[in-house]
Structure 1
Amino acid sequence: MLTLIVRILCLAGLCCCFAYAAENQITITVPAPRSLHDISHDYHIRLLDIALANSGMDRSNVIVRQVPAISEGRAKVELKKGTLINLYWLGAETALADDLIAIEIPTTRGLIGFRKFIIARTQRQEFAGINSLSALSLKIACQGQHWADTTILTQAGLRVTTSVNYETLFQMVALGRCDYFPRGYHDVLLELEQRATTYPELMRYDDIMLHYPFAVFFYVSKSAPELAEKLQAGMEIAAKTGQINELMQQHPLTKAVFPLINGKPEFFLSIPNPTMQFDDISNPDYWITPSDFGITTQ
């Protein structure tokens, strides 16, 4: 009889442990990759793992799962709801701060703000004659309809046409529906390589670099404040200990751009970012600067 009671107590205790584990389990839900070529998704999932490892959280209680891919516009809406997804990486915007919790550590050290152009090969001579912002404004850029970049370019006086579909933007350049597709410095070569068979007429134009202070942040739903707090701590450690820079130099998304000094352009054009005010963009722990490319600015 005593043995039976002990077994019952043990089973009860085990059930309590499972119940406790379930109650303390944290599920992070993100959208799936935007396409088969969306290597940025893998980069950010790996960086998320690094931040979680730094955060002091029990990883055995953290599950990262994916829902079907959605547009960036819908991702922002769903993040605000906090039901379908509760975390995503987005271009930093002040407007998002009212509805979401920003983890204000640039996921690729602001490299995304340094832009090279994807153009059609037939446009090469046209772009060779561009050496100023006013000359560039005569051309039409392609961008995502819900991307912060669209606002940044438009408010700088540049002409922009948009699409909600990421893959369609490459097709638009190839068909001449726009003249250039500004991409993060680390994105261009890999994106062209992945689409070389589909769009052999596209190329990277190296002589111009367009820059605006910009970053991708992890954003967390306000329904998950404890997760946001832990991620902020984990990302700060990742930045200050060089883990983000190390990942950038190893991951296929970014490793091809190092050393940055090799990427110095003939013309460097800079525009402001009215959608976001960043803290201390000269801090090398968090930000890549024009000087890393050998560019001297006044």
Structure 2
Amino acid sequence: MTKQIKTTLLVLSMLCSTMAYALDTVYVPQPRSHLDIGHHYHVSLLEKALEHGANGRAVPRIVTSLHMAEARAFHELTKGEKIDVYWFGTDATKEQSLRAIKIPTSRGLIGYRTFIIHKDLAVQFEQVVNLAQLRNYTACQGAHWPDVQILKAAKLPVVANAMYENIFKRVHAKRCDYFPRPYHDGYNEVRVRNSQYPDLRHYQKIILHYPFAVYFFTPKHKPELAQWIEDGLEKMIDNGELISHMQNHLLTGHIFPLRVEPGTRYILIDNPILPADTDWKNTRYWFQPSEFGFDR
């Protein structure tokens, strides 16, 4: 058998293997709470990515399995038994332990942080213009979120809570001063909890930025699924469907067109847990500070 024939047969075998990969069901965790709009955003984005990357295959059904905190979701995804896909804020540990699809699910918006605060603190935050002054206030964050390490590395005081809903309770009770939220999250999170926590406010005149992204992750032993999702997301970028998804979803639609209020202060800090090869200045995948009107 000639070398050319062997090569042809190998290529055909690889193509057949890719086309033969089929999946009936993809399992993801349940929402963190009944108010978790971000869960719907990611499940619907995942569904579209699977449709766009199907390449003639039947699109699997997405099913929620169990309720689990992020630490457990990471553990279960590593095993790949109870869940097949989840979306995490990325860091080096996750990228080493899991298969990361390195396409930010919201173009890096998660790294542009506005604040949820108690209304009584609004006047004090008006005086904050730089990182040194922000260090006088204590942030609330999720106990297992990478943000805790990022904020502490910038010498920003942080208190952590394992339960997502309890963080809003802490801010409302003034047990911490601010809850840094992704640019698209704060508005909706305050709005849907208005009756429960009427004194919470979405404070937008400080943008705390650290390069950061949410990626879809799969177990390492399911590379075909990861490639399927990646192919679908790339096609969605090419045909404009990813940005359309953002513009039309309740989680992110209200931020368009991108803008900030006059007098908004921009504070940039490092993200020491972001893998060194992350190209966060790549405009194909990431929003840039200049798109918000900052001269950076």
TM beyond 0.5? yes
Counterpart for residue 27 of structure 2: 29
Alignment-derived partner of residue 279 in structure 2:
280
- Contact (CA 8 Å) 1:263, 1:293: kept in 2 or not? no
Q: Helix, strand or coil: the match of 1:28?
A: strand
1:209 counterpart SS class: strand
8 Å Cα contact 2:27-2:82 kept in structure 1: yes
Q: How far did 1:242 drift?
A: 2.1
1:112 is matched with which residue: 104, 110, 113? Answer: 110
Please tell me whether Structure 1 or Structure 2 has the larger radius of gyration of its CA atoms. 1
Partner of 2:11: none
2:167 & 2:47 partners in 1: Cα distance?
A: 30
- Among candidates 73, 76, 82, match of residue 75 of structure 1: 73
- 2:231 maps to what in 1? 233
What's 2:94 paired with?
A: 96
User: Secondary structure of the equivalent of 1:276?
Assistant: coil
Report the Cα distance in structure 1 between the residues aligned to 2:83 and 2:175, rounded to whole angstroms.
34
Give the 5 Å matches for 1:127-142: 127-142=125-140
2:281 aligned partner, one-letter code = S
CA distance in 2, matches of 1:96, 1:284: 24
After TM superposition, list the pairs within 5 Å mapping 1:86-235 onto structure 2: 86-235=84-233
Equivalent of residue 256 in structure 2, options 241, 245, 258: 258
Equivalent position to 1:84, from 79, 82, 85: 82
Structure 1 residue 246 corresponds to structure 2 residue 250: no
Q: Is the 8 A contact 2:22 2:58 kept in 1?
A: no
Q: TM-score, normalised by structure 1?
A: 0.88
Superposed CA offset, 1:271-294 (max 9, x none)? 011111353322222111111111
Cα deviation, 1:82-102, whole Å, max 9, x if unaligned, reads 111121000011111221000
Q: How far off its partner does 1:24 sit?
A: 4.1
Residues of 1 paired with 2:212 and 2:139: CA distance?
18
Could you tell me whether the CA contact under 8 Å between 1:54 and 1:238 is conserved in 2? yes
| Cα distance in structure 2, aligned partners of 1:36 and 1:265 | 35
Structure-2 separation of matches of 1:38 and 1:250: 17
Asked if structure 2 preserves the Cα contact closer than 8 Å seen for 1:264 and 1:295, the reply is: no
Partner amino acid, structure 2, of 1:98: Q
Q: What is the one-letter code of the residue matched to 1:182?
A: P
List runs of 5+ in structure 2 lacking aligned partners: 1-20
Secondary structure of 2:43's aligned partner: helix
In the alignment of these two chains, the number of paired residues is: 276
Name the structure where helix makes up a greater proportion of residues.
Answer: 1
SS in 2 for 1:147: coil
* Pair 66,58 (structure 1): closer, same or farther in 2 beyond 3 Å: farther
The one-character-per-residue Cα deviations of 1:7-64 (angstroms, maximum 9, x if unpaired) are: xxxxxxxxxxxxxxxx943421100111111111111111111211221355535222
Q: TM-score, normalised by structure 2?
A: 0.89
Q: CA RMSD in A?
A: 1.7
Deviation, 1:214, is 0.6
